[in-house]
């Protein structure tokens, strides 16, 4: 996680956040172990507006949505070694249609990094047999927060609407909080 705080990492995050903020639509893709990161980023964006589309669906139908990708859009693609071919293929399609590609990946020379406008490298090394995706989750959350910050009052209004709908639908159980004056 410390690697993510280096000056170059912070510069890359800010550059990627500006690319995302300027997008007409944002598409998110990640497969296999990278899926949860793409989903988390999409979920964060769904709270602050409707410009995000997760390229996922039953029976592989999420790929159908790539037909809409065009110039002015951004694809946030997540893939780490071993790289998922379908993710790289979707990224190539998006860039061929004029969309910007933001790659969240583990190497400066990964297949995604080679074709991306913005690369956000994430370390995945661990002592375990399985690579870690924790830094990639942090990146998704930081990028989401930066995009929300760029949107300003519009993001705050969207968050209030999101919370209002969740309350209306009874989605969450909120614990009762003691007020400071109620505690002994």
Nearest to 73 by CA among 117, 10, 120: 117
Give pLDDT tens digits for 80-125: 999 999 999 999 999 999 999 999 999 999 999 999 999 999 989 8
Q: Are 158 and 148 in contact (CB under 8 A)?
A: no
Measured CA to CA in angstroms, residue 15 lies from 8, 19, 64, 87, 125 at distances of 11, 6, 29, 22, 25
DSSP string, 40-73: HHHHHHHHS-S-EEE---GGGGGGGGGGG--TT-
Give the whole-angstrom CA distance, residue 152 versus residue 136.
Answer: 24
Predicted confidence at residue 127, as pLDDT, reads 86
Phi then psi for 26, rounded to 5 degrees?
-120, 125
pLDDT in tens, 66-85: 889 999 999 999 999 999 99
Give pTM, 2 decimals: 0.88
pLDDT > 70 in the chain, percent: 91
Is 25 strand, coil or helix?
Answer: coil
Mean pLDDT of 143-154: 95
Q: How far is CA 137 from CA 63, 66, 120, 169, 174, in A?
A: 23, 24, 12, 28, 25
pLDDT of residue 181: 54
């Amino acid at each position: 996680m410390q690697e993510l705080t280096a000056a170059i990492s912070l510069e890359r995050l800010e550059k990627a956040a500006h690319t995302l903020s300027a997008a007409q639509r944002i598409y998110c893709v990640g497969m296999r172990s990278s899926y949860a990161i793409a989903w988390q980023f999409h979920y964060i964006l769904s709270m602050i507006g409707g410009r995000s589309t997760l390229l996922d669906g039953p029976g592989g139908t999420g790929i159908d949505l790539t037909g809409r990708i065009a110039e002015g859009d951004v694809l946030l693609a997540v893939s780490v070694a071993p790289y998922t071919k379908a993710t790289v293929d979707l990224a190539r399609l998006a860039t061929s249609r004029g969309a910007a590609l933001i790659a969240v990946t583990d190497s400066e020379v990964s297949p995604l990094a080679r074709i991306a406008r913005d690369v956000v490298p994430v370390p995945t090394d661990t002592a375990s047999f399985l690579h870690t995706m924790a830094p990639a989750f942090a990146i998704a959350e930081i990028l989401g927060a930066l995009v929300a910050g760029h949107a300003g009052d519009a993001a705050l209004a969207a968050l209030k609407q999101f919370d209002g709908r969740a309350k209306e639908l009874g989605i969450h159980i909120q614990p009762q909080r003691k007020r400071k004056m109620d505690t002994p």
